[in-house]
Amino acid sequence: MELLSVTDFLFYVFATLVVVSSALVVLMRGPINSAMFMILALVGVGGLFFLLNAYFLGIFQVLVYAGAIMVLFVFIIMMLGAQERLNLLPRHKYIGFLGLITFAVVLAGFAYVLSSQSSFSDLDLNTIEVATYSDSVDYSDFTTSVKSFGYSLFTKYLLPFQVAGFLLLVAMLGVVVLSRRFKATNREESK
Amino acid sequence: MNIGLDAFIILASILFSIGLLGVLIRRNVIVVFMCLELMLTASILALVAFSRYNDTMDGNIFVFFIITVAAAEVAVGLAVIVALYKRLHTVNIESFKQLKH
């Protein structure tokens, strides 16, 4: 077997890590165990982003997805005390069986599409040009700089950017409203 | 790097299928939610891989928005789960039967 290059070897390492961790998310019993393996899977995907030369996205993924969203999950699990060691399979056995069949069907569907697609292997990695931002460069070429993110976000994707900010505001309002104590409405009916 | 685009897409589809299996099988509603995030992560992996191999920045930009939407969705979803837990004192999805006919 010929020696793999470092990036190829790292791809196999991260890919194995991600697949094993995500399988364990599904299979582990307690929710905290699933959360820990989910964090590991997300960090593995961040490593794969580094291999794809998307360095900013790799750090963004680890910081935001694994570092904020999953930490929120862990907070909620610990707050609710949701450590009930439920059995893995649902109460009715046929639900687990149907779930496995759906998994197999979806995976077979992907395999069919990927095997009939012959043009993926034609795409090669381009050498990444250093962005000079002169007038003649195409701004949507792949670069590794953060500057190109900012450029695209404020010109081509300005509307989704503003809408995403609005969405975050609405989500914050929704969370505040949902966390209120709802008093019983019996008093209003008796007046 | 000698890894083709095929490998990344196969990996993303495996991740997506595992997340789907988790959503269908697990009974703890928080773990169901986590497997939903796993499906989203599979899609962003496919996006970044296609963006890299097609020499475009658009896929990377779109990942921003996906992570933003995922964060907002997780916040609101967990608030709903906490409110539900305060009422029913369980996280077992098989006991959420109030809307059942």
* Long-range pairs for A128-133: beta carbons < 8 A, 24 or more residues apart: A128/A53
CB A22 within 8 A of CB A40: no
pLDDT at A188: 46
- Taking contacts as CB-CB distances below 8 angstroms, the residues of chain B near A73 are 30, 33-34, 74, 78
pLDDT, tens digit, 9 for 90 and up, residues A70-106: 999 999 999 887 766 666 667 778 888 899 999 999 9
pLDDT at A135: 52
Is the pTM for the entire model greater than 0.80?
yes
Mutate to test the interface with B, among A9, A17, A53, A120 (most CBs of B within 10 A): A120
- Taking contacts as CB-CB distances below 8 angstroms, the residues of chain A near B75 are 72, 171-172, 174-175
Q: Is residue B88 within 8 angstroms of chain A, CB to CB?
A: no
Average pLDDT on A5-14 reads 91
Q: State whether residue B92 is helix, strand or coil.
A: strand
Question: In the predicted model, is pLDDT for residue A161 greater than 80?
Answer: yes
How far A90 CA sits from the closest chain B CA (Å)? 7
A45/B5 CB distance under 8 A: no
Question: CA angle at residue A73 from A71 to A76, to 5 degrees?
Answer: 110
- Taking contacts as CB-CB distances below 8 angstroms, the residues of chain B near A56 are 60
Tokens coding A22: 């995500």
Nearest CB to A26 within list B35, B45, B85: B35
The residue whose two tokens read 């570092």 is A67
- Taking contacts as CB-CB distances below 8 angstroms, the residues of chain A near B14 are 19, 107
B71/A73 CB distance under 8 A: no
Q: Is residue B11 within 8 angstroms of chain A, CB to CB?
A: yes
CB B15 within 8 A of CB A22: yes
Average pLDDT on A26-50 reads 94
Tokens coding B21: 């299996």
Question: In the predicted model, is pLDDT for residue A150 greater than 50?
Answer: yes
How far B96 CA sits from the closest chain A CA (Å)? 14
Mutate to test the interface with A, among B24, B66, B88 (most CBs of A within 10 A): B24
How far A166 CA sits from the closest chain B CA (Å)? 11
pLDDT at A125: 64
CB B82 within 8 A of CB A80: yes
Q: Is residue B4 within 8 angstroms of chain A, CB to CB?
A: yes
Averaged pLDDT, groups of 10, chain B, 101 residues long? 84 96 92 95 95 88 94 95 89 85 80
